[in-house]
Structure 1
Amino acid sequence: MQHNNSNKNINLSDFDLKSLELLNIQKNMGLLAIYADILSYISTLESIDLVYAQYDKNAKNVHNPDIPALQASYIYLFTRTIFTQVGFTKYDMLLERYNRGDYNYSLDPNRKINMANLLGIVANSYSLSAIEEIYLREKDQPIFGI
């Protein structure tokens, strides 16, 4: 996908400028969420190594899989929080247009996205709390389900 931003002669509306700003934030958070997925994957690989290391008397310097899992969980919570802010900001922009009569579509899908994001924050908070507890409890135990 190519985005040609080189045409500086485009006179974008304030609404579209703000929409592009939100989309760029969303794009960056998407990349950060992919990084969190990679950390989660690394944690899983390190967990597999940890299980095998229990049967290998020569295993040394086995990585702690809790660390990338914890890092991933912090990033997931952060990105979900930013996605939520983007969603609410866009909703407010649409609501303003709706109230002026410039937007004729239902705002219900946007409300649902906002609710899903709020629930995602709660879910990510619970996950982070659980991962922190496992990390503090036992540093050589794989974390499942992330």
Structure 2
Amino acid sequence: MKCKYSKNRSDKEKFKHISDNDKNALELLHLQLIFIYIYMMSDVFLFIGTIESINICYGKKEDNNPILLLEQGQILALIANIINNYITSTRYSQLSERYNEEEISLEPEFLVKQASILSIILYSLNVIAVSKQYEASLVINIFKCDKNSINLLFLQAVCFLMRFYGDYFLLRSTLKSIDLIRSKYDKSIKKIYNPDIDAVIAAEFYVLQRGVLYDIGCIALVTLINNGTELEKELLLPAQQTLVIANIIGVIANITVLIAFIKIYNRNENEPIFGR
């Protein structure tokens, strides 16, 4: 107990004189860890929901409607993005007060903030669309068991795996960002890694998976229009159209974040990364 107390006291001494700017940054980064964990939970829900949809297509009975898992996954992602928007908006405000335009360009931080707003719109639309799909699933069988539909579901599952990998790299970037700030006060942190590279890799994963999800949505929409029954069109067409619109917004948001992270990387300042 004495050793543990001494260690805690030593840690407090190291960070006793931490600047307000670094303290604020650390608080936001720890909040960022929370929203990444929520996002990862969302990825798991969406992946499992897609796999269970595939199982139904192959004739396996599931205890629960997989659309519920997809809906819960989208709700978690929406919650994560609301937190993300708070982080990016707060960070941009903090930097705006600290710097003027001649000292440093805050364009990357502004882009990330704008992208977070687009992401909230994206997942709000996704929640609405999946809720409509769930309502439709109570009336008709929405699971198509033809080869093309199953292939699209497999591709969708791969997209959610890709997004999980993206979140993993963003998690690495955030942990490195925390170490980067702590290293100013804790000299025992010897190796300082630049968080920019992991953030760029994460953003590339997000762009790729969102682009594929957009293609999947368009193919499903065209298939529904050409081959769906009148009842299927009545119940599913609004939801599918909403998903396509949401994915267009998602592509724009993810490309914006990628551009912003590349700009931060090109600044070569070895600085913490905020946002997604």
Q: TM exceeds 0.5?
A: yes
**One-letter code of the match for 2:217?**
G
Higher relative contact order (CA 8 A, sep 6+): 1
The aligned amino acid for 1:40 is L
Q: Structure 2 vs 1, CA of residues 50 and 118 (structure 1 numbering), >3 Å: closer, same or farther?
A: same
Match for residue 142 of structure 1?
272
Residue 208 of structure 2 corresponds to 78
Distance 2:234 2:251 in 1: 27
User: Structure 1 or 2: larger helix share?
Assistant: 2
What is the count of residue pairs matched by the alignment?
139
Look up the equivalent residue of 1:93 and give its one-letter code: T
- For 1:130 and 1:65, how far apart are their aligned partners in 2? 14
Query: Gapped runs of 5+ residues in structure 2?
Result: 1-47, 60-143
Structure 1 residue 5, shift from structure 2 partner: 9.1
TM-score by length of 2: 0.46
Asked if the contact 2:58/2:145 (under 8 Å) is kept, the reply is no
Measure, in 1, the Cα distance between the counterparts of 2:207 and 2:161.
Answer: 14
Amino acid at match of 1:22: L
Q: Would you say 1:124 and 2:254 are equivalent positions?
A: yes
Stretches of structure 1 that go unaligned for 5 or more consecutive residues are 8-13
Q: Deviations over 1:83-106 (max 9, x none)?
A: 0000000001001024x7473424
Deviation at 1:53, TM superposition (A): 1.1
Please point out which of 234, 238, 252 is paired with 1:105: 234
The sequence identity of aligned pairs, in percent, is 32
Shift of 1:55: 2.3
Listed as ranges, the matches of 1:33-112 within 5 Å are 33-57=163-187, 59-98=189-228, 101=230, 103-106=232-235, 107-112=237-242
Query: What are the superposed Cα offsets for residues 68-122 of structure 1, whole Å, 9 maximum, x if unpaired?
Result: 1110000000000000000000001001024x74734241211110000000000
1:61 Cα offset (Å): 2.4
User: Structure 1 residues 137, 104: CA separation in 2 closer, same or farther (over 3 Å shift)?
Assistant: closer
User: How much is the aligned-residue C-alpha RMSD, in angstroms?
Assistant: 2.4
TM-score (norm 1): 0.84
